[in-house]
Amino acid sequence: MDIYPTLRDLVECDPASRQLFGRLPPDAQVALQEQRQDIRTYADLERAAASFERRARGW
């Protein structure tokens, strides 16, 4: 698994991460960029995306 220094690098360099990030609602993208500085792998991004999906469903 590739590890990138920042979320921005992850999204720019990893096609799967770019696709996953692109499917998130704009407000979730902004929140991740501003608040989640610990996202450095696809798995990290996947967990964060799942968290946003659960919140959107009211879990």
pLDDT tens digits for range 22-56: 999 999 999 899 887 789 999 999 999 998 888 77
Residue 49 vs residues 27, 46, 54: alpha-carbon distances, Å: 12, 5, 9
CA angle 36, 4, 1 (to 5 degrees): 110
Task: Kindly report the pTM of this predicted structure.
Answer: 0.85
pLDDT of residue 22: 97
Which pLDDT belongs to residue 36?
72
